[in-house]
Every structure is written in C-alpha cells, then in structure tokens.
Amino acid sequence: MDWHLLGISFITVFLSELGDKSQLAAIALSGRCKSPRAVFFGTASALLLTSFLGAIAGGAVASVLPTHLLKGIAAVGFAILAVRLLFFNNQEDSQDCNESQT
C-alpha cells in the first residue's frame, strides 16, 4: 500500500469536508434526533460510498485518458465552479428569495 498517497488522500478529503454542507446536515440531523450514533454511521457510510465510487470512476477514466489531461479537466471544472460562485451565485440567491416571497 502506498502510505504517502493514503495520507495525502486523507488530508485532502478531511480538509475539504470541514464545514461542508454534508457536515452541516449531520449537525442538523443529530440535533433533531435522539441517536447521534445513527447519524454518524449514516453519514460516514455515505462518505465512504461516494469516495469509493469516485476512486473507481477515477481509475476507470484514468485507464482511458492520460493523467495530465484528467488534472486539466478537473482544474477547468473547479475554475468554472469558482467563477460561477463568485459572480453568478448572488443573482440566483436573490431570485430564489423573490420566488419564495410570492
């Protein structure tokens, strides 16, 4: 097993999940129910499943496309999301507020 890759993967996912919507949903769920253990196991298994699917899909795509192309596609995708969040998210939020008031 590649322990360096394991450590990098853990740190990356751990830091990216801090304060994420899934963590906030887990906080809200555990605050409403009497069984925080069930919320923990449910959210942990969901994160495991999504990580497993991501690793399987990444391995399948990596066998077809070169790694540098995959990294480029991921970088462009994140850049598009960042620009959208920075410049276009406020317009959608104000439309959502207007629709909920009518």
Residue 90 confidence (pLDDT): 62
Task: Count CB-CB contacts under 10 A for residue 99.
Answer: 8
Asked whether 22 and 47 are in contact (CB, 8 A), the reply is yes
CA dist 55 and 72 (Å) reads 18
- Each residue of 34-93: pLDDT tens digit? 888 998 999 899 989 988 998 898 888 888 999 899 889 989 998 998 898 888 866 554
Q: Mean pLDDT, to the nearest integer, of 10-19?
A: 83
pLDDT at 102 over 90: no
Q: Domain map of the chain by residue range?
A: 1-64, 66-102
CA dist 39 and 81 (Å) reads 29
Band (100; pLDDT cuts 50, 70, 90)? very low
